Structure 1
């Protein structure tokens, strides 16, 4: 992808902040305009009309002596001639991404430096943010809270590293893995109270960076593609003021993903397509004794890598799952009764068998589920 240059603003656009090189570290701050500027009541003008046409809400536009300030940190020229060309920036991603395999299970460890109570406790917001990302329909992105300090991502206090007006920071993927840390400024804006909603917003934002999302407004902020890349994502607009990935939005409250945030994430990490073919045999209802199940791959996936087939066993109404129970185009596993439920209401519990397969390009696919009802508790006895 060629480096994109903003031809809209030229030298007429003003910036009240310095942009650091975006190689492996991305800061997200609450920038303020020049304190010497004089704010005035917003008046109708061709430029205001143009900004509204670009998707910005009128109530988020403030007029200063030499520029318009939009969304709290975006500066626009007051010269309508500057708007003769279209804006080039939009949702973008870095050259390096998390691999399609690793993105399905990224562990997150919240370090002890994040308090477990009080105003600086971000733990509930972290859990909510992870749930927001994990439940995007059509995406395979999955974060898991871990108790291990050797997790893929560590969320911790910045230890007074960040500037006062920077709320949090993260970086971009390397070696097929997510960036390995998110640091939080617990003294943001000299200990201003950060709402739970704003904490949630910022964690979603930083985890977005960890999996390769650039600032949606990267170009008009003066950020360059650099060596990390700023590859435009198809079917996203020139501007998305509602994107959680806009920079300079540290004080924003969480209100969900924008339509184009969802398009961007699903473009980068799509949910595997479910194949229509699966052949499995065995009892459909388990009640006692030994139960033997066999399977055969019957799909017709183009460029299928048959060596990549993995068969999975997953409890539906119980804890712990899924488990890999075998591999290859054919095989079997055996389940043996352990105990039986006396409560008839528990006799509707079940488990499923399914397989995953990759094509030669590395894309992952999943079969439909083979659903098996059971009356009691069963354990896996053997597989091949």
Structure 2
């Protein structure tokens, strides 16, 4: 998630846990799997030994292997082949002490969790530490004015969202928007304007090949518009941080 029309480079502290395996070898397989799944090579980047697609979505080796299954077409709202399983009912988002020290990031997190909990989904979100968690996500601070996350794997949400401390100088609504967006990735949502990032960013081409990899969510629009989804690639400065009607349709269909 990036500010509209800003040319930013993903920078975060994500490092692949290779369990003794050379990260470069794992990354080669991840990239190969992504290309096979339909992601163009020029949309894949390696930052600090971690592989990213679509600017802000970290892909692990396990997740890349799970992506190698047939897609079902694509449109404005779409999801990853991997979703959060039914065994997960309460996702606890645990901010680090550094994250919580930034007041607007901290307030934005509370508002983002409220966005999801207002929808009556089968999964609920809670700010940790707390009890009864069936899955956990760590919210940590990083540099810049955007965020990064990843896609679900093994039936669990991606375990980390990275939020730029530069967002402290933006409104609470912007912080709410970026955190809601990255949590969307963590439970399986892709960018709404994947086929033309210039819709929300002002510049940029397609993110993935249409018809390959993404799975369309029934009932959602077939075209993206500026401000039409919290899952657009870039955020507008005047965002309210709230879900649009099509966002709600997508989430209620999935969860």
> So what's the TM-score if we normalise by structure 1?
0.43
Which residue does 1:105 correspond to in 2? 90
Q: CA offsets, 1:293-327, max 9 Å, x none?
A: xxxxxxxxxxxxxxxxxxxxxxxxxxxxxxxxxxx
- Structure 1 unpaired stretches of 5+: 6-17, 30-87, 270-384
Give the conservation status (yes or no) of the 8 Å contact 2:163–2:179: no
Bigger strand share: 1
Query: Which of the residues 159, 181, 191 maps onto 1:215?
Result: 191
Which residue does 2:113 correspond to in 1? 130
- Structure 2 unpaired stretches of 5+: 1-36, 58-73, 198-205
Which residue does 2:164 correspond to in 1? 185
Query: Which of the residues 222, 230, 243 maps onto 2:214?
Result: 230
| Cα distance change of structure 1 residues 124 and 171 upon mapping to structure 2, 3 Å threshold | same
Q: CA offsets, 1:243-297, max 9 Å, x none?
A: 111111163522522221111111111xxxxxxxxxxxxxxxxxxxxxxxxxxxx
CA separation in 2, counterparts of 1:206 and 1:259? 18
Give the conservation status (yes or no) of the 8 Å contact 2:229–2:247: yes
CA separation in 2, counterparts of 1:143 and 1:187? 25
Give the conservation status (yes or no) of the 8 Å contact 1:26–1:171: no
Q: CA offsets, 1:147-186, max 9 Å, x none?
A: 27x961000112x4xxx4x511111101111000011111
Give the conservation status (yes or no) of the 8 Å contact 2:177–2:235: no
**Higher RCO (Cα < 8 Å, 6 or more apart):** 2
Per-residue deviation, 1:24: 6.0
Which residue does 1:167 correspond to in 2? 146
Per-residue deviation, 1:187: 3.0
Which residue does 1:194 correspond to in 2? 170
Are residues 1:27 and 2:55 paired?
yes
Aligned CA-pair RMSD: 3.2
After the TM superposition, list the runs of 4 or more consecutive aligned residues in structure 1 that deviate by more than 2 angstroms.
Answer: 18-29, 115-118
Query: Which of the residues 140, 147, 150 maps onto 2:129?
Result: 147
> So what's the TM-score if we normalise by structure 2?
0.63
Query: Which of the residues 56, 62, 76 maps onto 1:90?
Result: 76
| Cα distance change of structure 1 residues 106 and 24 upon mapping to structure 2, 3 Å threshold | farther
Are residues 1:157 and 2:141 paired?
yes
CA separation in 2, counterparts of 1:181 and 1:25? 16
Are residues 1:176 and 2:155 paired?
yes
CA separation in 2, counterparts of 1:250 and 1:173? 26
Per-residue deviation, 1:114: 1.3
Number of aligned residue pairs: 184
Give the conservation status (yes or no) of the 8 Å contact 1:26–1:209: no
Per-residue deviation, 1:141: 2.6
Give the conservation status (yes or no) of the 8 Å contact 1:89–1:220: no
Give the conservation status (yes or no) of the 8 Å contact 2:151–2:158: yes
| Cα distance change of structure 1 residues 91 and 127 upon mapping to structure 2, 3 Å threshold | same
Q: CA offsets, 1:57-104, max 9 Å, x none?
A: xxxxxxxxxxxxxxxxxxxxxxxxxxxxxxx631000011110221x2
CA separation in 2, counterparts of 1:4 and 1:113? 37
SS at match of 1:122: helix
Give the greater-gyration-radius structure (CA).
Answer: 1
CA separation in 2, counterparts of 1:209 and 1:251? 21
